[in-house]
Chain A
Amino acid sequence: MLGRTLREVSAALKQGQVTPTELCQRCLSLIKKTKFLNAYITVSEEVALKQAEESEKRYKKGHSLGDLDGIPVAVKDNFSTAGIETTCASNMLKGYVPPYNATVVQKLLDQGALLMGKTNLDEFAMGSGSTDGIFGPVKNPWSYSKQYREKRKQKSHGKNEDSHWLITGGSSGGSAAAVSAFTCFAALGSDTGGSTRNPAAHCGVVGLKPSYGLVSRHGLIPLVNSMDVPGILTRCVDDAAIVLGILAGHDPKDSTTIQDPVKPFTLPSLTDMSKLCIGIPKEYLTPELSSEVQSLWSKAANLFESEGAKVIEVSLPHTSYSIVCYHVLCTSEVASNMARFDGLEYGHRCDIDVSTEAMYAATRREGFNDVVRGRILSGNFFLLKENYENYFVKAQKVRRLIARDFVNVFNSGVDVLLTPTTLSEAVPHTEFIREDNRTRSAQDDLFTQAVNMAGLPAVSVPMALSSQGLPIGLQFIGRAFCDQQLLTVAKWFEKQVQFPVIQLQELMDDCSSVFENEKLASVSLK
């Protein structure tokens, strides 16, 4: 039952094959079994069971609220949840319990979804590994899959098997792992430079970044306001469309959401491929791209072409400036957004009370990790009067050029762009931490980040397993507010490639051995 898609389990609930409470309990028990993955920071067991009970009553009366009623979901721990601790994986917000729900959380709850818990991330979503939060790194469920383990056995005969566990990617790694390990049917991530799509690709799930302005950011603790978008992680494209249909639309609390009414998303099956034009941006063929990803990318292009679609090479000439431009804009907004964490109204406050300034300084030093502090420092540097023109204004201009690149390509008749999501498959944690957070983020955001600059919708769809038995995803990028068209193409592709289901049976039957090896999993679960 847990391996099913959201749509399938929704049908099962409606038909009474399973009750919301049964479903909830099964997910809760799997969350406990997979605790070592460190996917969840907070498990909201009581809340979920209560919600399941309510949902069950509705089903009994035949008054179900819709497709999400009784469906277990998880939410990244940078979305405000009323009455449930929201930490951003930071000391600064440890113990902070918001008095309100983010709009997207409220919409899920209004549809009867069961909130299983809050998922792990990099501190304040700053990272690409889900390794840099105060609750420790998230482990990729594929590390424990039959597919990966068998390949590893063939190659090495090492005994210390578990030290080779893989990162999930990030920063929404907890949400990706939660969906991948069947502990929920959909999860919310956030996406500022690729934070939903990157872990989706590494964990073999669908990761959707909707158009900027389509989904409310109210209640999402910001990283970069002008690029942040709530992301959706599911096991298939149709499920992502269902969740997007519920979340999308104007929010009076977020002035940057669209005014136009949004219709529910249903994805038609693509029939006439000849009308479809797929663009392949040549700048995305970089030397760092692994040969395996590259060959899958061309295979995908060939697939579209062989089925009758027009596939053309296109150019996004300003792509190479994207990362450095992002660095300036991101750190500047971070410096500004983080200014509110001063220990006065909420969150961590130090014991020093010599003066207000000394209290601020110590609070912020204790509350933020090095990555956050580093970004605040560089952001404030870029915003200084003497630097503003040379850095911030220039970066904004480059941002405009990057966005225009996409507009030009779409104006030339391209419907959807096809690119890799990541350079390679997920790497072991030991390898990942050889580089610092900044270097890693710059490398890993390469294909995903320009999309955020332009506010476009994009989705990562798992395509195949690498020779190591690990998932590789490809990214589709659509026109602004053409999320439905984008998902329609992604759905067609998903059907063609038939990505294999993760085989975690061994893990689920015998987690005890894993538990024993785990020291890092000693995270408080509530």
Chain B
Amino acid sequence: MEFAELIKTPRVDGVVLHRPFMPTVEGTLCLTGHHLILSSRQDNTEELWLLHSNIDSIEKRFVGSLGSIIVKCKDLRVIQLDIPGMEECLNIASSIEALSTLDSVSLMYPFFYRPMFEVIEDGWNSFLPEDAFKDLESMTDEWRLSEVNKDFSVCPSYPALVAVPKDVNDDTLRKVATFRHSGRFPILSYYHKKNGMVMMRAGQPLTGTNGRRCKEDEKLINATLRPGKRGYIIDTRTINVAQQAKARGGGFESEANYPQWRRIHKAIERANILQESLIKLVEACNDQSHSMDRWLSKLEASNWQTHVKEILTTACLAAQCIDREGASVLVHGTDGTDSTLQVTSLAQIILDPACRTIRGFQSLVEREWLQAGHPFQQRCAQSAYSNSKPRQEAPVFLLFLDCVWQILRQFPCSFEFSESLLVLLFEHAYASQFGTFLGNSAAERTKLSLPEKTVSLWSWVNRPQELERLTNPLYEANSLVIWPSVAPQSLLLWEGVFLRWNRSSKCLDEAYEEMVHIIEYNKELQNKVNSLRRQLAQLETEDPLLKTS
């Protein structure tokens, strides 16, 4: 098979592995179709198993006949392999390069991976749109599940089933789809149970320079308004960017045609700018020789924290419109697959306590990212170390996770999951043995038969041992809306991702263990005391003498 052709040297002995904050390991390096493996063949040393798809870029260095390969991973880790023999080193390097840049999706590891764990619940069926709709039906009868997109022809990036206003028929939807970017007609994203307000999302309207209008589009979104009420349209682009979009056939909803809607423009940056920002940030984090001034100025120049602030602010705005102003909201940017999803998903974290549970958060990622057609495969093809010119790559999903982390850090007791789940999702979005993040849309995933041919990440996550690892010990259900602070002082660098490999986590791990210990010990005592109480109560009822006393 073709992997063998790419592997010029499958095995080299005497390879030395260097990792920051860990002892060096000497051992045998093996290349397989999907993994780079380094094993010392001693029982007590950890082996290195690295997915080729996790490798972002490599560098070669030679000192005499000793070659070194510096492997930079998509999870931001950097390791060094010292390989004796120039030829071996070159062979290994070119093999890794070829194996880590496979073009065909069907050669990816998830198609070869067989789970070593018992699948208790098939993750591919855990979060079906029809189930989510059942929950909605229990709250309101104003929405219906449309099959207009069942063969993905109306909107290729939408799932087969979408929730739309009950009074709008499929013909109308087809017409609206022609008026919205990539056919992304407005659909339901979130229903706020507390006051019945909704959040919808869509692609930009294709008004163009001559101000084209679409009565059906107006009808559709007006159908979501209560009589006499106004709604908000949150355009994630600045007014200038939105104006410029007109020249390319896009645009925004004019006040004249949408009198019942107020439009607010925000300034979430486009994909390529976010990618540049990530590259700069990671570069700053990896250079430990910086002085304080240089570090702070590099951090500032990366603009990463600015993006975090802008995205969170926009999400707060959407949540504020719904919860505080009691208005419905339509969110869109250009194509509705990036900044739009950041905003709609974060607004739900703020508004809906269910999204702050482990299962609810998975469901959110499934609904608002995977089924909503965020092009994971394009966006996560490369990470911060890529040498090639970015095409479609952008850390849109990573920024979303960063924002969730910021909220979690501000409300450490309101989330059922810990930071680990966020880091796990970051890793798997970029490289994974599971099929969940493959493909760019529901249509592509169906075409690839992912549910039949690969294992879902959710199957792995929703097992007791994994859930335990991901659970936040401080969690206590909080049914309220949580308003994060978006002040710069309140937003921190996400150390768990960006400094993860650049410092020892020993002391922080110890602190975490101590925290778990305090909580576990308390639980144990409570159980003991409760059982003694019962025992005492029983003894006391049995003993008539006690009763009278």
Q: Judge: A and B partners, yes or no.
A: no
